[in-house]
Amino acid sequence: MIICLAGMHRSGTSLFSSYLRHCGINMGEAMAAAGAGNKHGHFEDKTFLELHKEILRKNGRHMYRDPGLLLITDEQKQYANDLVNDNNQKLDAWGWKDPRTTLFLDFWNEIAPDTKFLFLYRDPLTVIDSLFRRKGERYLFFKPLMAADAWLLYNRKMLEFYNKHPEKCLIANINGINNCPDESLQKISKWLDYPLDKPYSDIYHPKDIASSLSTVTKMYLPLINAFRGAELKKMYEELENLSSVQSPTS
């Protein structure tokens, strides 16, 4: 089994990757180090992470901007093939997590057509607030709509891929998983055909999640609502309609 865990940055992919690993799915040997934004770790395989970063860098693209048509070299394609083949030979159940994967879904579907794609999402305001809080992304203070545009971009990419390949995908709201883990994990486990039987409380720590909006988010909220509010609301509703695990308030 191969599982690709993708979604917009700050949407729970690190949390859920750590849970999948806790349940015995190999999510990578060389993991990216923990940081200020993810003190428990990012739980992403550096081999996949660095490949995505290299492709974006060589194409002169930013991870929060629509990359358009990316030039991927034959060498990079071969490297991706080798990654998949090596893991398939060594492991029965494995996967990877990197939010940037969301920009490369068609590429990976071609490289590894048997992959199951688990897409996580989170309400836009919480994600935007989390981005503003990250110390390494203070440039967003000067481009406040960029955070909203990134949320729209990543979730649009997910929906486009889902609409082409619904049989390969499951969409889940991370807040729904966090609030109703037993029911949510049963659905995901059945879809994966893999037992997710470890206690979710081993991984999920509610105190790590901010309970109120930051001062920066509150300052920019009128601007975001005025210029992106309708788009954010519409896309979030679309995600909820297609989701197997919805928001606890839906």
Q: Closest by alpha carbon to 98, among 88, 108, 90? A: 108
Asked if pLDDT for residue 52 goes beyond 80, the answer is yes
Q: Which pLDDT tens digit goes with each residue over 53-74?
A: 999 999 999 999 999 999 999 9
Q: Closest by alpha carbon to 158, among 230, 232, 114, 105? A: 105
Helix pair 46-58, 74-90: axis angle to 10 deg: 170
Q: Which pLDDT tens digit goes with each residue over 78-130?
A: 999 999 999 999 999 999 999 999 999 999 999 999 999 999 999 999 999 99
Assign 209 a pLDDT band (cuts: 50, 70, 90). confident
Asked if pLDDT for residue 134 goes beyond 70, the answer is yes
CB 15 within 8 A of CB 204: yes
* CA separation for the pair 117, 158 (Å, rounded): 10
Q: Which residues contact 228 (CB under 8 A, 6 or more apart)?
A: 145, 148, 149, 152
Asked if pLDDT for residue 35 goes beyond 60, the answer is no
Q: Mean pLDDT, to the nearest integer, of 204-213?
A: 83
* Residue percentage of the chain with pLDDT more than 90: 86
Q: Supply the pLDDT for residue 43.
A: 80
pTM of the model: 0.94
Domains of the chain as residue ranges with CATH = 2-242 (3.40.50.300)
Q: Supply the pLDDT for residue 3.
A: 98
More confident residue, 59 or 248: 59
Asked if pLDDT for residue 33 goes beyond 60, the answer is no
Q: Supply the pLDDT for residue 93.
A: 98
Assign 250 a pLDDT band (cuts: 50, 70, 90). low
Q: Would you put residue 12 in left (φ > 0), alpha (ψ -120 to 50) or beta? A: left
Largest CA distance in the chain: 52
CB 210 within 8 A of CB 122: no
CB 118 within 8 A of CB 6: yes
